[in-house]
Structure 1
Amino acid sequence: MITSIFKKSTPINYSLIGILTIILYFVYQFHNPTGINSWNDIAKKAGALVLIFASLLLANFIVKKNALTRDSSYTALYYLLFLLFFPKIMSSMNLLLANFFILLSLRRLISLQTLKFTKEKIFDASLWIFVASLFHYWALIFIVLVYISIIFNASRDYRNWLIPFVALFGFAVVFLFYDLLFDKSVVTNFLQSNAVSYKIDYFTSQSQNIAFSIFAVFLVFFVFPYLFSIPNKPLNLQASYKKVFFATLISVVIFLISANKSNEILVFSFLPMAIIATNTVEHFQSKFQQELILLISISCGFFCFFSQL
C-alpha cells in the first residue's frame, strides 16, 4: 500500500508530503510555544517553515534533475522522516539556513557530471559553503567535497583547483566590508565559533538518545548496501553517487567535531541519506521488502517525533 502511494512522482504525492509537513510543524510549535512573544518571533517561525519547504523542494529538484533515483517520491518522504527524527531542527534557524546553503552547493557539485559551466559551478558551490559557515562554522568542511568533485569531473584543468580560493577571497572581502561598516563583532564571533568537541554526552532526555540510536542504525543499514551498489550504476552517474556518499561522510564528521553538539547538527546528512535510503528501497525487487522497510521507516520517524514533543 505504501509503495503504491509513493513509488510514483505525482503532484498528489508531493501535496500529501507538503500537507503532512505543515501539520507536523504546527504540532511541534503547539507543543513548544516558547519564543513567540512578538510579531518578529512569528516571522521567524514562518521563516523556519519556509526554509523547511524550500529545502524539501530543493532536495527533490537535485534528485530529479540528476537522475539519482527512479521516478518516485521516496526521497522527499525520507527527507521529511529524517526531519521527524530530530524535530528541534524546526526551531533551529541557523542550522536550517546552513543546510539550505549546503543544498545549493550540492546542487552545483552533483550537476558537474554534465561537464557544462564547470568553473561557474565550482565557484558557486564554494561560495555557498562559505555562506553556510556563517550559520554553522564547521559547514566549511564541505569544501572537501568541492575538491572531491573536481577530482571526479574536472581535474585536468589546473584552474579549477584555484577557483575555491577565488570564491574565498570574494566572500572574505564582502564579510570584512560588512564587519567594518555595520557590526565590528561579526568577524570575531565567527572566528570564535571554530571550537571542537568530540564528546557525545549532550542528551537531555531518553527520547533524544533513542532517536539518535535509531538514526545511527538507519545510517549503517542504508549506507553499506548503497556502497556495494555503486559499481552497478551507469558509468556516467557513478561519480555523482560517490559524491552522495562523501557528503554523508562529511556530515557525520561535522556532527562529531562540532562544539555545542546536538542531534540537530545531523541535518546536513538528510539529503544524502534520503538519496541513499531511496536507492536501497528501490534496489529490492520484492514489494513485501519495500513495504516492510518503508513501514519501519515511517513508524520510527513518527515515534521519534511524538516522543520528543
Structure 2
Amino acid sequence: MISNFFSKSKPVHYIVVSVILLLVFVLSRLNVFPEHSSLLFLVKQIGLFFTAFLSVFVFDFLVSRNGLTKKNSYNIILFVLFFAILPQTLLNPRLLFANLFILLALRRLISLRSPKEIKKKLFDASFWIALATLFYFWSWVFFIMVFAALLVYVISDVKNYLIPFVGVLAVAIIAMSYVIILDKDLIGYTAGVFDFSLDFSPLNSKRIIIGSTLLLSFGLWSSFYYIKNINAQMKSNKPSFKLIILSAILGLFIIAVAPSKNGSEFLFLFAPLSIIMTNYIEVIPEKWFKEILLWIIILTPIVLLML
C-alpha cells in the first residue's frame, strides 16, 4: 500500500522522489527541446533541474527540522507530485529560483522558534526574499512573513524590526553594483516589473483547470483540519503552524495578481500546501480513504497527459 510505504521516513524515499522529479522534468520539456541541442542549452537544463531538486530537499529540511509534520515522507512525495500535476511550474526558470530563495527564507523564519541568533535569522530571511524579488517581483509579498514572524514569536526588541531593511539594502547594493559594473540596462530590466493582472482566462485549459482544482480543493479541505489543529499543538509550535497558513495565503495572492498566468505561479503554493495536506493525511483513521486520496494525486498527472 502506497500510504504504508511513505508512512515512515526512509532513504529509499529520496531516490523515489528524485526519479519522479527527473521524469516529470524531462517530460515537461519535451516540447521545448530544440532539434539540435547545444552544450550550453543542456547545461542550463541540468542547472534548472538541480534548482528544482534542491528545492525539494530544502523543503524537506525545513519540515523535518522544525517538526511541521510527523516523521514520514508524505510531505516530499506530495511536493514532487504537485510538480507532476502542474508541470508548467518547471518551465519558468525565474520562478524556480525565486521559489528556492523563498524556501530558504521560510526555513530561517520558522527557525525563530529558537531564540538563538535572532538578528542573523532575520537578516538571512530578508536577504533571501529580496533576492527572490529580483527574479520574480511579486515575491516581495513574502516580506509580510518576516514581520508576521516577529509578531507571532513575540520578538519585541525594536532593533529587530530594522534588520529586514538592512537585508533588503544589502541585496539592493549588490544588484546596483552588478548593473553598474556590467553596464546593464536598468530601465529595460524594470519595464513591466510592477505589472499585475486579474484576468484568469490564460489558465483556461483542461490540464490547468483539473490540476489546480484538485490541489485547491484538497488543500481547502485539509486546511479546515489544519487550522482547527493549531490549538492542539505545543505552545512552541503554534507560531510555526500559523506562518505556514500565512504562506499559503500569500501564495494564493500571487496566483491572483500574477501578470502572466500560465500555471507556473502555483509553485509558491506547493510548500505550504504539502505541509497542510500531510498533517491531514497523518490523522486520517480510515486507511482505505488515505490510500484513495494518495492514489488520486498519483494518477492525476497520468490522466492529464492523456488529455
TM-score (norm 2): 0.94
Q: Distance in 2 between matches of 1:166 and 1:292?
A: 48
Greater alpha carbon shift after TM alignment, 141-150 vs 166-175: 166-175
Gaps of 5+ in 2: none
Greater alpha carbon shift after TM alignment, 64-73 vs 216-225: 216-225
Q: Distance in 2 between matches of 1:111 and 1:35?
A: 47
For 1:133, what is the secondary structure of its paired residue?
A: helix
Cα deviation digits, residues 95-116 of structure 1 (max 9, x gap): 1101000010011001110111
> Which residue of structure 2 aligns with residue 21 of structure 1?
21
Q: Distance in 2 between matches of 1:261 and 1:69?
A: 31
Question: What's the offset of the Cα at 1:301?
Answer: 3.8
Question: What's the offset of the Cα at 1:31?
Answer: 4.9
> Which residue of structure 1 aligns with residue 285 of structure 2?
285
**Contact 1:89/1:96 (<8 A) preserved:** yes
Change (3 A) 1:143 1:33: same
In the alignment, structure 1 residue 120 sits paired with structure 2 residue 120: yes
> Which residue of structure 2 aligns with residue 108 of structure 1?
108
Cα deviation digits, residues 80-106 of structure 1 (max 9, x gap): 111112112222111110100001001
- Kindly report which structure 2 residues correspond to 1:201-212, keeping only aligned pairs within 5 A, or say none: 201-203=201-203, 205-212=205-212
**Contact 2:91/2:264 (<8 A) preserved:** no
> Which residue of structure 2 aligns with residue 158 of structure 1?
158
> Which residue of structure 2 aligns with residue 179 of structure 1?
179
Q: Distance in 2 between matches of 1:183 and 1:131?
A: 20
Q: Distance in 2 between matches of 1:298 and 1:152?
A: 36
Greater alpha carbon shift after TM alignment, 72-81 vs 201-210: 201-210
For 1:24, what is the secondary structure of its paired residue?
A: helix
> Which residue of structure 2 aligns with residue 139 of structure 1?
139
Question: Which one-letter code corresponds to 1:235 in the other structure?
Answer: K
Gaps of 5+ in 1: none
> Which residue of structure 2 aligns with residue 99 of structure 1?
99
Identical positions, percent: 28
In the alignment, structure 1 residue 11 sits paired with structure 2 residue 11: yes
**Contact 1:248/1:269 (<8 A) preserved:** yes
**Contact 1:101/1:129 (<8 A) preserved:** yes
Question: Which one-letter code corresponds to 1:239 in the other structure?
Answer: P
Change (3 A) 1:27 1:105: same
Change (3 A) 1:191 1:242: farther
> Which residue of structure 1 aligns with residue 72 of structure 2?
72
In the alignment, structure 1 residue 245 sits paired with structure 2 residue 227: no
Q: Distance in 2 between matches of 1:187 and 1:70?
A: 48
Q: Distance in 1 between matches of 2:180 and 2:121?
A: 30
Change (3 A) 1:61 1:33: same
Question: Which one-letter code corresponds to 2:288 in the other structure?
Answer: F
Greater alpha carbon shift after TM alignment, 21-30 vs 127-136: 21-30
**Contact 1:231/1:238 (<8 A) preserved:** yes
Q: Distance in 1 between matches of 2:36 and 2:152?
A: 47
> Which residue of structure 2 aligns with residue 262 of structure 1?
262
Question: What's the offset of the Cα at 1:307?
Answer: 4.3
> Which residue of structure 2 aligns with residue 235 of structure 1?
235
Q: Distance in 2 between matches of 1:191 and 1:77?
A: 38
Question: What's the offset of the Cα at 1:141?
Answer: 0.4
**Contact 1:137/1:190 (<8 A) preserved:** no
Q: Distance in 1 between matches of 2:193 and 2:218?
A: 30
Question: Which one-letter code corresponds to 2:13 in the other structure?
Answer: N
TM-score (norm 1): 0.94
Q: Distance in 2 between matches of 1:247 and 1:59?
A: 13
In the alignment, structure 1 residue 51 sits paired with structure 2 residue 51: yes
**Contact 2:203/2:261 (<8 A) preserved:** no
